[in-house]
Amino acid sequence: MTTVETSATKPMRTPNDSPLKIWFLAPLAIWLTVFFLLPLIFLLWIGFWRVENFQSVPDFSLGNYADIFASFFSKSRYGLALIQSLWVAITTAFFATILSYMVALSIAFAVPARWQRLALLIAIAPFWSSYVLRLYSWQTILSRNGVINSVLKQFGLADYRIDLIYTQIATRIGLIHYLAPILIVILYVSILAIDRVLIEAARELGCTRWQAFTRVILPLSRFGLMTAASFAIIVSLGDALSGNLLGGGAGTSIIGKLPTYASMIMSDYSSSTNLPRTSALATILIVVMVLALAAGFVAADRARRRTS
């Protein structure tokens, strides 16, 4: 510690160490800069611009934000849309995670080991088709004269026709169908990481099958569940397509007929020439997402620390 030489000599390097290895960071750095940092900074920056004669002018003005927050819950109803979005995203994440967990559990525990890869592949097959295509298919299924209602009519139950299209329930259905394949993979991997001996040990100690699930499998899946749920929330918050195509822009919900926030950003972008304002709206969504992500991280980390 007190020797003089150590401060003078160069740090020890093994013969296999190369000073060039720092360049292996380059692909990551370039990727992050081009596809993440620059667009993000650009978006945040434009949010402070202002519009003069239908032209965006670089500036550092808080005008856009002042304008948005002035009518957050009244005229423009951005705030209500944000609440709508959060509500749709959280409930979507809840149901998507539970459904995907059940699928992942049945693949991991009910399918023989040699068929599990195939079962997983089939379970995530919807991921191979286009998202928009899947939304249009749901439209034909859910619409007023769609598949469900036609079948009901065939059985003489025309009075019980259900109107799902253009509600936020339809938005959720589209989102869940979109998210499930990814969540199934996340959850399947986390279930696979559970040592099977622990399940046998639980049974041997007197657990019924159900207790082995609630006492061992579920607690040890907690990290995977948290990861899947926060992923689902983030994706649902940012998605405008399902809300537009199945929710009809402003879908019926328990809060009333309201679009999701992402839909609002999209219509704001296409209906006005005020790009700085749209950027400011998008920035607000990003802040909400970061907060949601942080909450998810904390929850997942707690789950992980409890299980390691």
Partner 1 sequence: MTSAAPSPHDLELLSITKNFDSFTAVDSINLKVGRGEFVAIMGPSGCGKTTLLRILAGLETASSGQLYIRGKDVSDVPVNLRSTRLVWQNYALFPHLDVAGNIAFGLTLKAHDKAIVAGKVKAMADLVGLSDLMGRKISQLSGGQKQRVALARALVTEPDILLLDEPLSALDAHLRIRMQGELRRIQKQLGMAFIYVTHNQVEAFSMADRVVVMNKGHIEQIDAPEDMYARPKTEFVARFVGTNNLFPGRIQEIGHGKAIVHCAHGQVQVSTDDPPPVGTGVFVVVQADKLKPAPTGVAGENRLEATVRGREYAGSHNIYLLDLVDGTEVKMTLPQVLPLEINQPTTIWFSPAHAALIRGAA
Residues at the site binding partner 1, with contacts judged by CB under 8 A: 195, 197-198, 200-208, 211, 215-216, 219-220, 222, 306-308
Report the residue number, 195 or 301, with the smaller CB distance to partner 1: 195
Smallest distance from partner 1 to CB 212, Å: 8
Nearest-angstrom CA–CA distance, 198 and 86:
37
Nearest-angstrom CA–CA distance, 245 and 131:
11
Smallest distance from partner 1 to CB 295, Å: 21
Report the residue number, 153 or 203, with the smaller CB distance to partner 1: 203
Smallest distance from partner 1 to CB 51, Å: 55
Nearest-CA neighbor of 243 among 306, 158, 188, 165?
Answer: 165
Smallest distance from partner 1 to CB 216, Å: 6
Report the residue number, 50 or 203, with the smaller CB distance to partner 1: 203
Report the residue number, 21 or 305, with the smaller CB distance to partner 1: 305
Nearest-angstrom CA–CA distance, 203 and 207:
5
Nearest-angstrom CA–CA distance, 256 and 81:
10
Smallest distance from partner 1 to CB 189, Å: 17
Residues 124, 189 contacting (CB under 8 angstroms):
no
Nearest-angstrom CA–CA distance, 104 and 173:
19
- In Å, how far from its chain's centre is CA 154? 38
Burial of 10 (0-12, 13-18, 19+ CB in 10 A): exposed
Tell me which residue has tokens 């006005």: 272
Smallest distance from partner 1 to CB 199, Å: 9
| Residue 210 CA: distances (Å) to CA of 28, 135, 172 | 45, 37, 30
Report the residue number, 101 or 138, with the smaller CB distance to partner 1: 101
Report the residue number, 164 or 212, with the smaller CB distance to partner 1: 212
